[in-house]
Structure 1
């Protein structure tokens, strides 16, 4: 798998690429606190099946870098969606299968919703409809759900920022274990991804993300129009497979499909027993099968 970099208007985006150059593009996006290595096994299967797999590091992670010191280190959802479109444009990719989870799933959902002509199909993990409803973010949810979101409220405080700055590996490893309680990973697996957290903008991007989604800080004005469009909770009409780990420690799926109404095109939900939050790394064959099941739409 080749490490490459492409320049957009604001970022040098680092990404891993494998598979034939003329294959169906599949852009696969990681979440917090993970990195591009979450898809190592997935891309082996997909590239062997003829897909051109592109796995970027998101803003604030790994070798991806901002071009200017004056660019806001925004982690808001609109920034992630805009980065994905900018990546596609820089690589001259008109349409691609989009797949992701957590932050990466949010970016994929945003592009699928607002620019459906750019998405062949969508594989969304965890929260299937992963577009934040920021105007409603201040409304309380069930106590057990609030408890699972402790880390978000932690990052609202300067104590949380200090912990992420000074103790990020232990904090992120704790999150890995809590969110994927049945996944046994070794030190080398964690270390391969944890190196991405040494990005000089990691803390600022993460803290901004978790504060912005609750309306506590302003977003980057460059993305204001996208955020306004997302406030309408746009539907997703591209062919979609939603994958959910039943044993997800932060976002366990309900028996009822609470997101189906947001999808207006071909749609399927698959729930995976024994799988937690980091679904592509815990269940790579299931993720790859989901992509391959959408091949007829390419």
Structure 2
């Protein structure tokens, strides 16, 4: 059974979902934009049923109890700090870390900066930040794909995305995510201050900020129909992992892997964890 949790930290209280025995091997799952912890519903339930202790928080800005109003408070150091603070509150000295989209970016930085805290890393969709930065500089295709990051820092983005019952926000999901899930994401981001908080991740952070190679065992999952991240950065990611590395390419799936291909995502994750 999936539980609803409240996790107090020095930054505030994070809402979360969790499953599995309290003494199970700990797995923390981080969502991206514009979703929430529930994008991991299937994975949390599957992991819990297999004896893991899986927890997925609504991250900074998505949890009402941790919603700073200043964009600078959404920098990568604050986001990584949240990961460690949540793990500390859960009494997890070492844990497996999983992330999708922005959650994967945070996970890459956490793995690079705090390898002693992680048993393994699973990054979904988002390549290693250094590989992405290089691709943005040298690959015209990735440069074009990444223009939205600059555009979304504009002050009118909130209104544009939420107008007409979140029409522009809904289009981001490319009709690949179930309507009920999209309704949930739009409803949550329509809360006062929530969309601004989510966009502040883009306003405070910069994709490809300096990050070292990752030494922990890593699986990177990339889908061929991802409109955000192209093959250049995806294939280069292996050069930024010095530890055991597995690259899993998924055919005919969009950027929204945890939602669109939930059973496949869960099976890949379980297989990765089972050998670590």
Scaled to the shorter chain, the TM-score interval is 0.7 to 0.9
Q: Is the 8 A contact 1:246 1:276 kept in 2?
A: yes
1: distance between equivalents of 2:88 and 2:204? 26
Question: How does 1:1-298 map onto structure 2 within 5 Å?
Answer: 1-61=2-62, 63-66=63-66, 74-130=73-129, 140=137, 142-164=139-161, 166=163, 169-177=166-174, 183=176, 185-214=177-206, 231=210, 233-254=211-232, 257-296=235-274
Change (3 A) 1:290 1:87: same
Give unpaired runs (5+ residues) of structure 2: none
**Alignment match, 1:221:** none
Structure 2 distance, partners of 1:273, 1:94, is 36
- Paired with 2:111 and 2:15, the residues of 1 have a C-alpha distance of 22
Distance in 2 between the 1:74 and 1:212 partners?
7
Superposition RMSD in Å: 2.9
- The separation in 1 between residues aligned to 2:183 and 2:69, in whole angstroms, is 31
Distance in 2, Cα, partners of 1:50 & 1:256? 32
SS of residue paired to 1:188: helix
Higher relative CO (CA 8 A, sep ≥ 6), structure 1 or 2? Answer: 1
When residues 256 and 79 of structure 1 are mapped into structure 2, their CA distance, relative to the original with a 3 A threshold, is: closer
C-alpha distance in 2, partners of 1:77/1:202? 18
SS at match of 1:28: strand
Distance 1:263 1:4, change over 3 A: same
- Check conservation: 1:73, 1:201, Cα contact below 8 A: no
Provide closer, same or farther for how the CA distance between residues 285 and 131 of structure 1 changes in structure 2, counting only shifts above 3 A. farther
How many equivalent residue pairs? 275
1:156–1:125: structure 2 CA closer, same or farther, 3 Å change rule?
A: same
1:93 is displaced (CA, Å) by 1.1
Q: Shift of residue 72 of structure 1?
A: 5.7
**With structure 1 as the length reference, what TM-score do the two structures score?**
0.81
- Quick one: distance in 2 between partners of 1:9 and 1:191? 31
How many Å apart are 1:187 and its aligned residue?
2.3
Is the CA contact 1:3–1:15 (under 8 Å) kept in the aligned structure 2? yes
Higher mean alpha-carbon deviation, 198-207 vs 235-244, is at 198-207
CA contact (8 A) 1:60 1:200 kept: no
- 1:272 to partner: Cα distance: 0.3
- Structure with greater proportional helix content: 2
Q: Determine if contact 1:95/1:119 at 8 Å carries over to the other structure.
A: yes
**How big is each residue's C-alpha offset from its partner over 1:72-105, in whole Å with a ceiling of 9 and x where there is no partner?**
6633222221111111011111111100111111
Kindly indicate whether the alpha-carbon contact (under 8 Å) linking 1:275 and 1:282 is maintained by their aligned counterparts in 2. Answer: yes
Corresponding residue SS for 1:27: strand
Residue number in structure 2 paired with 1:219: none
